[in-house]
Amino acid sequence: METKMGKLVIARHGESEWNKLGKWTGFTDVHLTSEGLEKSKEMGTLIKDFTFDYVFDSDLIRSQETCSCILSTCSPDCVVPVEHIKELKERDYGDYTGKNKWDMEKTLGEAEFTRLRRGWDYPIPNGESLKMVYDRVMPCYLQKILPILKEGKNVLIVSHGNAIRALMKYIENISDNEISNIEMPFNAILIYDLDTQGHLVKKEVRQI
């Protein structure tokens, strides 16, 4: 019998206090701005046609606040189990945590800055490369999230830019070189139909 897969819906957290200041946030736990909270509620309106059986966010407050706002508008009358997963947190920016991105671009130069932000296996002093993020995200996806989808249940993930890029790499079979061109924008929702291996069958993007 063919497995009827559930839908996977992925959202990035809303604007945080450090996003607004242009700082690399990483593991630092900062709240959403008022704009971030408002836009997160609006994101929920984009998926009012969905009923979720399970929700995963990260163990960082900006992800959890976004998740709460989304659920308050897309599923206000439903009690949905939400699990906070540390593997879904943002990339650790190591020694660059708290530094202003645009100041660092001037210091490092555009080419080095782009490799640092978007490269696949490009190191950060005392931090993580995207490959390292991928290596912690994928066991969570394959062992915890995919089995739920294979039961035909719909799953919402609310995470962070680089953790989502890691998921997109696997789901969409994006190469190591091509991943540098991929970014998960704010205020967007990814909706995936998947095969039983967790790879892309169909993708829809909804954005405010």
pLDDT digits (tens, 9 = 90+) for 118-153: 999 998 999 999 999 999 999 999 999 999 999 999
Question: Which CATH superfamily hosts domain 8-150+166-207?
Answer: Phosphoglycerate mutase-like (3.40.50.1240)
pLDDT digits (tens, 9 = 90+) for 40-79: 999 999 999 999 999 999 999 999 999 999 999 998 887 8
Torsion of CA 159, 161, 162, 168, to 10 degrees: 80
Q: Which residues are catalytic?
A: 13, 90
3-state helix, strand, coil in the chain (%, to 5): 45, 20, 40
Number of C-beta neighbours around residue 88 at 10 A: 27
Exposure of 204 by Cβ count < 10 A (0-12 exposed, 13-18 middle, 19+ buried)? exposed
Question: Does the pTM exceed 0.85?
Answer: yes
Mean pLDDT of the chain: 96
CA distances from 62 to 72, 89, 125 (A): 15, 10, 24
Q: Which helix (H) or strand (E) holds 206?
A: strand 200-207
- pLDDT, mean of residues 6-13: 98
Domain ranges of the chain: 8-150+166-207
**Which has the closest alpha carbon to 185: 12, 15, 9, 10?**
12
